[in-house]
Amino acid sequence: MINVLVTGGQGQLASCIKDVEVEYDNLNIIYTDSEALNICNVSQVQSFFKSYDIDYCINCAAYTAVDKAEEEKELAFKVNAEGPKNLALACKEHNVVLIHISTDFVFDGTNREPYTEEDKTNPISVYGASKLQGEIEIQNILEEHFIIRTSWLYSEYGYNFMKTMLRLYFDLSTSSRQAKLSTTTDGEISVVSDQIGTPTYAGDLAMVILEIINRGSKAYGLYHYSHEGAISWYDFAKAIFEFSNILINVNPISTAAYPRAAKRPPYSVLNKAKIRKTFNVTIPDWHIRLKQILEGL
């Protein structure tokens, strides 16, 4: 039996891991939240690792409030950099393999072709900088690690763009019914159209992570994983409503027209050649998987 610790156990990726773990009878997975295991508390981390016989640690814990991080820089770095450092130290001491989840926000978005693992990082937000520092801390401490950068995660769980769009539609349609409005559609929304990336279903990432563990791979290092394709948030929103058979006007707007506290990379498509070749994984196209997920809902 392989013992696996999952931090951030109530988040969307951990929830997806719970869904797919049933396919792996050889895995015993322990899920923890910040109350059970505060990764920012080095003594608590060390104590936890001494108390449990762990083979792998999947770090899903993260500070993900991108805009709020601009004001809470210290907290963002504490969770996204010091936390992974504490885990890496404990993993090194107890011979545990660390699988850490990172982000496309480590890039500045000036590329016009998918980013490889060798491309220069240059985060333009506190969130991106804190996640990059977490990568660096792990790489400096622990050889036995997998760092997986991903992008635009969505699922049935937690807070994500897909659920936000569906919630906005529900709120708009409810308001229309209450006001007794008669329209051909249920309102309209505006979505940024000049930020390009790739939506990624968290359940597919969860499956890749568990497959790496199941194979006992020692191909440690940095990897990119997202679905195939390159679209804008506007395209993503339109597809969500189309696949949900929802009639709503979606208007494209520029990033400048929708100012946020944190800058976003205008282009953050990830190159998946390395992870595909190393682990022979099949990566679905974004729109095929999104349609399947929405049909399932």
The catalytic position among 31, 56, 115, 127 is: 127
* Residue of 93, 12, 77 lying closest to 39 (CA atoms): 77
Residue of 137, 132, 134, 112 whose CA lies nearest to 121: 132
Backbone angles phi, psi at 261, to 5 degrees: -65, -40
Active site residue 127: yes
Contact 194, 232 (CB under 8 A): yes
Place of tokens 């995660």: 153
The answer to whether 202 and 263 have CB atoms below 8 angstroms apart is: no
Length of the chain: 297
**Is 123 in contact with 105 (CB distance < 8 Å)?**
yes
Angle of the 83-94 helix axis to the 126-141 helix axis, nearest 10: 20
Q: Give the residue numbers annotated as catalytic, written as ranges.
A: 127
